[in-house]
Structure 1
Amino acid sequence: MTRGRTDADLARIPGGGKGMIEQHLAAAERNGVHVRFDAPVTRLVTASDGAVHGVVLAGGDVLESRAVVLAAAWSTRLASLPRKC
């Protein structure tokens, strides 16, 4: 059975929680993943079957991909997004 990370687990990782994130980011980049920070998304680009295959950024750039992972801190802006983009 797996369990979540504890404070003791993080203490054994160089740099703690921040170090763990840095390790994950480095591994993702080594595998060709492009990560964008502070890149507000205004719209998801979807196929006719509803599958997401890209995003439109606030600046108008369209990024298409085989996979899209969105992450955001909770905020009133996030809470105000429509349930279905």
Structure 2
Amino acid sequence: MIANGVQADTISGVKWVKAAASNGVGQCVEVAALPGGDVAMRNSRHKDGPALVFTPDEVRTFIHGAKSGEFDHMYIR
């Protein structure tokens, strides 16, 4: 198990992925599937910064909320 808040650059053997819609200037969230099923997320501007670790259920719940528009009010245009 990888602890929440661990330095992202210490997580080895994972592939960090960001959205294809990324603008290429490091303003993205990157995710990595962890052994055991958890998901790590980091700020692409701070690859060596902390990673937040979520369970599969937490990620599914967040994605469902995002797809249904629950966070649209937070989007800055």
Shorter-chain TM range is under 0.3
Q: Which has the larger radius of gyration?
A: 1
- With structure 1 as the length reference, what TM-score do the two structures score? 0.25
